[in-house]
Amino acid sequence: MKYLLQGLTCVNCAAKIEKEINQIPELRDVKINLAAMSLHLEPSFADKVQKIADRVEPGVRLVAIEKTGAKAERVDYYYPKISLVRIFISAVLLGGALLLDRKDYYGDISYLFYAGAYLVVGYPVLIRALNNIFKGRIFDEKFLMSIATLGAIAVNALGEAVSVMLFYAAGQMFQDLAVNRSRRSISELMNLRPDYANLLLNGRSERVDPDEVLVGQIIEIRPGERVPLDGIVIEGSSYVDSSALTGESKPRRVEAGMEILSGVINGSGLLRIRVSKEYAQSSVAKILELVENAAVRKAPAEQFITRFAGRYTQLVVAGALLTAIIPPLFLPGAAFNDWIYRALILLVISCPCALVVSIPLGYFGGIGAASRAGILVKGANILDQLVNVDTVIFDKTGTITRGVFEVIRIESINGFNEKEILEWAALAEIYSSHPIARSIREAWQGGLDQDVIGRYEEIQGSGIKAVIKGSRVLAGSSLLLEREGIEHLRKTEPGTMVYVAVDGQYVGCLLISDELKRETADSIQQLKHLGVRQIIMLSGDDRNTSDTAAGELAVDQVYAELLPQDKVEHLEAIKKLVPDRQGQLIFVGDGINDAPVLTRADIGVAMGALGSDAAIEAADVVLMDDHLNKLPHAIQIARFTRKIVIQNIILALGIKAAVVILGLMGTATMWEAVFADVGAALLAVLNATRTLRAGRL
């Protein structure tokens, strides 16, 4: 079951809750979705997880989501009004204390101002630190900040103690705002989720939950409404906006007889649609599931930071303790107050928030930017793999070609005419869902009587064997006729040839055309410009057709006349050719026959709009609008995201290391320390939000 962690806005706290959940023996791989602060969990463990949430972040409540439809989760965002008031009052009191310090005749009144300023802004931190101590969580940033500032008060650094707490609160507020801005940008994708469907019952329209609509029922889409379910338009025409699904801003016209996908927005016309899929299987539900679950699959950098953060704080605290004790005992003239102050500086910068928050946020933004560009990446680990691509293997039909076939010529022989050849072929292809079969049936244009079909066998990747009107008919590739021992003249023209034989005699063939996509050649050049070493094409078409397409596209290698199982074998062979390769191997396909190859590649890329459900399920990346130029764009987004992540690691660790050194030397104060902690975290988070613009690169 899916649960919301209501009231949880802190990414760092989410990481701590996730870590403690996974310490439960039966729950080894639970991940918190940062977009909606949700997780999947067996109901029997809900109480244990609630106790963990209470311990880490009081006020967080685990709420079960019973359904996947319209009334699912809504994300709560941090609103800083109360924090702003406390920060303002504290700043005013601190200013008053600093002014009073300059007037000796005011005596100890300034101490009251310091105390007021400290308590106003610091009491939430102090209370949380105290609660955490009772719960056994000592190495917590609230505890460390409390010890550091109380220690500063003890050594009479009152102004710095208040300033540290004040800037810590302000930094946390701005950090939370930046994090939630990123979360909001991702969760805006959840607006795809339909709130209702207008179901037609007995001639009247009734507003219902999309989950309640059955396959075959009729729904009505009014102008400006979002299509809630996949279906076929049966009445009306309109232009629909599919930019939220595909990233494509150009409206697309739909009319009666055409398929329409859930998630698109209806333009000006009234549409009536016969539902073809229940909500859970609809396009919008699958997209939402992919986006929501993307944050679960973590990149290696995230996994490293999680492990690093667990040790970093302990090491710095141990260093601070040694700094406060060792030098005064062994160095001549060393004062305890000076070295305690230096140790307090180390405590202030001992929290790894800059890394724990900003690194996942960087990947989070990259995934969101890709989604808005019509590229669904199924995890941060996949985004990380896209950075270094060595080889791209394309399937031909429907991937680098349009997949829209047309019969352009018919040849007959042995006393048969062209009409007879086309009828035999159309009857043979009557049950096939292959695009070539559809083109042959459309070319026939007449009626097809299923009653004349006897035994029927579709041979994957080769063609059809059937008994039609009592005759044994073959329709398919040259290889099919060769295997059956039927002599025929093999054609070498560009295009797909469908050969027809009746009762063991070759009677003719059909030439079927399939155009290359307009952007294919440019996309391949972009990939090479990005450093992809080789481009390979796999095709089930004959050698001549495949070579012609490869020549137009400047493909490095082409393998033709392949059955689906042959594609898997060739992909495995290509991987073995370079056993020590550093880059990733991508396979790009669209059909159900490509699903096995997609799973065997390092990264499987499915063409979304024309792609089958099986291909989309098997793929790691889905290009929603079938435009191949999305692939180089995905690589660019991945590289930009990686650059931001590396910058944040260097930024956070560099600033902290510099202040540690300066603090030990006695030249850094708590002002620099609070910048190294909260300031570095804020800078890293703001830098991470730049990935949200990666989709516009």
558 & 509 share domain: no
Give the domain range for residue 467.
406-513
Q: CB of 534 within 8 A of CB of 557?
A: yes
What's the CATH number where 624 sits?
A: 3.40.50.1000
Residue 395 annotated among the catalytic residues of the structure: yes
Same domain for 536 and 601? yes
41 and 57 fall within a common domain: yes
CATH number where 34 lies: 3.30.70
∠ CA 379-381-383 to the nearest 5 degrees? 75
Q: Are residues 521 and 631 in the same domain?
A: yes
Same domain? For 621 and 547 the reply is yes
- Helix ranges restricted to H, 70-189: 81-101, 109-134, 141-154, 158-187
Cα–Cα distance list, 412 to 415, 417, 455 (Å): 8, 6, 25
DSSP 556: S
Measured in degrees and rounded to the nearest 5, phi and psi for residue 48 equal -65, -45
Residue 159 within any structural domain of the chain: no
Q: What is the pLDDT at residue 657?
A: 86
Hey, what are 296's tokens? 């679960």
**Residue 237: which CATH number?**
2.70.150.10
Both structure tokens of 467: 């008994």
pLDDT at 668: 83
- Measured CA to CA in angstroms, residue 533 lies from 349, 434, 569, 589 at distances of 44, 33, 21, 19
Q: Which amino acid is at 57?
A: E
Same-domain pairing of 394 and 431: no
257: buried, middle or exposed (CB in 10 Å: 19+, 13-18, 0-12)?
exposed
Distances (CA, A) of 422 to 125, 228, 409, 411, 506: 81, 41, 10, 10, 14
DSSP class of residue 498 equals: E
- Which of 211, 384, 395, 541 is an active site residue? 395
Domain-embedded: residue 647 = no
Low-confidence winner among 335-339, 590-594, 644-648 (lowest mean pLDDT): 590-594
For residue 607, tell me if it sits in a domain: yes
Q: What is the CATH number of the domain that holds 472?
A: 3.40.1110.10
Q: According to the model, what pLDDT value does residue 309 have?
A: 67
Instruction: Indicate whether 393 pLDDT > 80.
Output: yes
Asked if residues 425 and 432 have their Cβ atoms less than 8 Å apart, the reply is no
Mean pLDDT of 310-332: 82
CB 120 within 8 A of CB 90: yes
Residue 36 lies in a domain: yes
Rounded to the nearest angstrom, the gap between the alpha carbon of residue 111 and the centroid of all alpha carbons in its chain is: 53
SS3 593: helix
Q: What is the pLDDT of residue 78?
A: 46
Average pLDDT for residues 51-64, to the nearest whole number?
Answer: 80
- Does residue 488 belong to any structural domain of this protein? yes
Q: Tell me whether residue 239 is in a domain.
A: yes
In this structure, the strands spanning 584-589 and 603-607 are: parallel
Q: Give the pair of three-digit tokens for residue 533.
A: 């070493």
CA pair distance 153, 407, nearest whole angstrom: 87
Which H or E element spans position 273? strand 271-275
Whether 412 and 493 share a structural domain:
yes
Q: Are residues 528 and 395 in the same domain?
A: yes
Length of the chain: 697
Residue 236 lies in a domain: yes
Do 528 and 430 lie in one domain? The reply is no
For residue 425, which of 415, 626, 414, 412 has the smallest C-alpha distance? 412
Confidence at 642, pLDDT banded by 50, 70, 90: very high
Do residues 546 and 564 share a domain?
Answer: yes
Mark which of 597, 617, 635 sits at the end of a domain. Answer: 635
User: Is residue 213 helix, strand or coil?
Assistant: coil
Lowest mean pLDDT among 14-18, 229-233, 308-312: 308-312
**Angle, to 10 degrees, between the axis of helix 630-665 and the axis of helix 680-688?**
170
Is the model's pLDDT at 49 over the cut of 90? no
Q: Are 640 and 697 contacting, i.e. CB atoms less than 8 angstroms apart? A: yes
Q: Is residue 502 left, alpha or beta, with left meaning phi > 0 and alpha meaning psi from -120 to 50?
A: beta
Mean pLDDT of all residues in 389-409: 85
Mean pLDDT of the chain: 81
In this predicted structure, which of 59-73, 77-91, 234-248, 580-594 has the lowest mean pLDDT? Answer: 59-73
Q: What is the pLDDT of residue 159?
A: 83
Residue 268 pLDDT level (bands cut at 50, 70, 90): confident
Q: What is the pLDDT of residue 79?
A: 47
- Kindly state whether residues 481 and 586 are assigned to the same domain: no
Torsion of CA 449, 451, 454, 459, to 10 degrees: 40
Residue 167 maps to a domain: no
pLDDT surpassing 90 at residue 209 = no
- What does the angle CA 609 – CA 383 – CA 584 come to, to the nearest 5 degrees? 95
Domain final residue pick, 468, 493, 513? 513
522 by Cβ neighbours in 10 Å (0-12 / 13-18 / 19+) ranks as: middle
Based on the structure, what is the number of domains in the chain? 4
Pick the last residue of a domain from 579, 605, 635: 635
Sheet holding 38-40, edge to edge: 38-40, 2-6, 61-65
Highest mean pLDDT among 13-17, 596-600, 644-648: 644-648
Same domain? For 540 and 630 the reply is yes
